[in-house]
């Protein structure tokens, strides 16, 4: 784990993606169910043809938003769809499952005086609700950066990371992101931020490797990350 040690030695701020590294938001409220509702809403408006078959079948609500934003980013129907997604996400917090070791890692990083931020394609209100319920809100303070009304800025665009760097006052060279998707990896690379990949299964690992993540900085559990911080 020498590479992890080097990464944390070089960082003064750790930036977490939310859904994955902090919790499984849709553990008890499947994302496929959310996407199906979004597709029904589009169908009722006669707009289901705006999505490709691949986008419609993705099961990823953020992929749907991103695809529609490329077509008409300021449309009223897109704003309504995003608001509906936020309501789904808020309900999902009630059955979200904490990622093993995440709470302890967050608290340990805070104790060790690392700056902390969250950058996510989820609504920041969703993140705040979850963190408050877990007693973690004070660890992040105002440094929660979720999606904005400009849905073209969802990750892999680095916008939320750049906002985190600005709000914490930390240069990119002193920041480290923990993420679990190719979009996280790409956004970190564009922002000039070092990246640790969290891959809870082989599929996640392969996807991160395909996105260019460093194999030595991909972990299947946050336990080794916690051990690294405790031993630093």
pLDDT at 85: 97
Q: Which of 33-37, 40-44, 172-176, 227-231 has the highest mean pLDDT?
A: 172-176
CA 232/CA 229 separation, integer angstroms:
5
Residue 87, pLDDT score: 97
Q: pLDDT tens digit string along 81-135?
A: 999 999 999 999 999 999 999 999 999 999 999 999 999 999 999 999 999 999 9
Q: What is the mean pLDDT of the chain?
A: 95
Strand order, beta sheet including 13-16: 144-145, 115-119, 13-16, 175-179, 194-198, 218-219
Q: What is the mean pLDDT of residues 161-172?
A: 98
Contact 147, 165 (CB under 8 A): no
Task: Give the torsion through C-alpha atoms of 61, 141, 8, 184, to 10 deg.
Answer: 10
Question: φ and ψ at 221, to 5 degrees?
Answer: -150, 150
- CATH pick for 2-25+96-231 out of 3.40.50.1000, 3.90.79.10, 3.40.190.10, 1.20.210.10: 3.40.50.1000
Strand positions, DSSP E, 31-182: 97-98, 115-119, 144-145, 175-179
Rounded to an integer, the average pLDDT of 5-25 is: 97
Sign of CA dihedral 91, 69, 61, 182: negative
Say which DSSP state 121 is in. S
The backbone torsions φ and ψ at residue 79, rounded to the nearest 5 degrees and listed phi first, read: -65, -40
Counting every residue written for the chain, the total comes to: 232
Query: What confidence score (pLDDT) does residue 1 get?
Result: 42
Mean local confidence (pLDDT), 139-161: 97
Contacts of residue 149, Cβ cutoff 8 Å, sequence gap at least 6: 79, 82
Residue 170 CB contacts under 8 Å (≥ 6 apart), including other chains: 12, 13, 115
**Banded pLDDT at 53 (limits 50, 70, 90):** confident
Is the per-residue pLDDT at 190 higher than 70?
Answer: yes
pLDDT at 2 over 50: no
pLDDT at 56: 83
Answer yes or no: are the C-beta atoms of 109 and 14 closer than 8 Å.
Answer: yes
Domain boundary assignment for the chain: 2-25+96-231, 31-94
């Amino acid at each position: 784990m020498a590479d992890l040690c080097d990464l944390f030695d070089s960082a003064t701020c750790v930036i977490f993606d939310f859904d994955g590294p902090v919790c499984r938001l849709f553990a008890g409220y499947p994302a496929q169910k959310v996407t199906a509702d979004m597709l029904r809403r589009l169908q009722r408006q006669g707009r289901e043809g705006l999505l490709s078959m691949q986008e419609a079948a993705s099961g990823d609500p953020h992929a749907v938003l991103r695809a529609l934003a490329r077509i008409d980013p300021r449309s009223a129907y897109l704003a309504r769809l995003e608001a509906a997604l936020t309501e789904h996400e808020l309900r999902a917090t009630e059955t979200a499952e904490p990622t093993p070791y995440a709470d302890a890692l967050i608290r340990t990083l805070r104790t060790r005086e690392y700056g902390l931020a969250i950058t996510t394609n989820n609504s920041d209100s969703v993140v705040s609700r979850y963190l408050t319920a877990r007693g973690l809100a004070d660890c992040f303070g105002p440094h929660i950066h979720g999606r904005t009304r400009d849905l073209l800025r969802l990750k892999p665009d680095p916008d939320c990371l750049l906002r985190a760097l600005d709000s914490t006052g930390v240069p990119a060279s002193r920041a480290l992101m923990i993420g679990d998707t190719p979009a996280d990896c790409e956004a970190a690379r564009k922002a000039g931020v070092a990246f640790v990949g969290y891959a809870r299964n082989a599929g996640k690992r392969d996807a991160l490797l395909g996105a260019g993540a460093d194999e030595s900085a991909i972990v299947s559990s946050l336990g080794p990350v916690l051990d690294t911080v405790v031993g630093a």
